[in-house]
Structure 1
Amino acid sequence: MFISPAFAQAAASGTGSAGGSASIIANILPLVLIFVVFYFLLIRPQQKRMKDHKAKIDAVKKNDQVVTGGGLVGKVVRVDDLYVDVELAPGMKVKAVKAMLTDVIDPATAKPAND
């Protein structure tokens, strides 16, 4: 025989359904607690960060210094609903999708882009 009598007896005696609803609550409670912790530590801060980023990008205006998704730093020359024209160097303008801007640099703390 492959199964010892002690294991077979323990498996047969553990099939009772005593304490039905308390057992279900005890099994589900850790999962609910884990979800609540994930919500407050991961999901909620990420949603707040995305909301702040969207507000910052929507507030882009002419003469702001921005960073594009590709890491290019330049000055905004023109703003449209979907696009922004960014001047990377004097006389060199590129059109970028507004949603792909990663950051708007504060002019008070920014260094000039043409160092």
Structure 2
Amino acid sequence: MTVILWQGQATGSPFASFIPLIAIFLIFYFLLILPNQRRQKKLQQMLANLKNGDKVITSGGIRGTIVSLKDDFIHLRVPPEQVKLEVLRSAVASLENPVEEQK
């Protein structure tokens, strides 16, 4: 039985072995982290600019019109019965865009 030990010789600097790891991190940053940060910033800006009369869609899929705003809560009027709901401001997923409905 013969056992052969493989001994590799260290060539180059130790920094060279980290280059692929750094490249992978940069790819993940630009493809995943940066777009998510932009999306979060846009959502926070939209939530800060809500006003009475805006038509919104909540994260639960409820569509309604804002009738009043508080610090953390908003009141929505939901058709057809004109029910008034109180939901968290953070539950608003998007503004309802009338241009998209016509398409």
TM-score scaled by length of structure 1: 0.77
Question: For residues 82 and 50 of structure 1, what CA distance do their matches in structure 2 show?
Answer: 17
1:80-95 map, 5 Å: 80-89=70-79, 90-95=81-86
- In the alignment, which of 39, 47, 55 is matched to residue 37 of structure 2? 47
Question: For residues 69 and 45 of structure 1, what CA distance do their matches in structure 2 show?
Answer: 20
Question: For residues 15 and 33 of structure 1, what CA distance do their matches in structure 2 show?
Answer: 24
Larger radius of gyration: 1
Q: What is the Cα deviation at residue 26 of structure 1?
A: 2.4
Instruction: Write out per-residue CA displacement over residues 44-94 of structure 1, whole angstroms, 9 at most, x where no aligned residue.
Output: 011001100110111110000000111010000001110000000243100
> Percent of counterpart pairs with the same letter?
26
Give the aligned partner of residue 9 of structure 1: 4
Instruction: Letter of the 1:92 partner, please give it.
Output: V
Q: What is the Cα deviation at residue 109 of structure 1?
A: 1.8
Residues 57 and 99 in structure 1, CA contact (< 8 A), matched pair in contact too: yes
How many pairs were matched up?
100
Question: For residues 59 and 86 of structure 2, what CA distance do their matches in structure 1 show?
Answer: 12
Unaligned runs of 5+ in 2: none
1:26-45 map, 5 Å: 26-45=16-35
- In the alignment, which of 93, 96, 99 is matched to residue 90 of structure 2? 99
Give the aligned partner of residue 74 of structure 1: 64
Root-mean-square deviation (Å): 1.8
Q: Which runs of 4+ in 1 moved over 6 A?
A: none
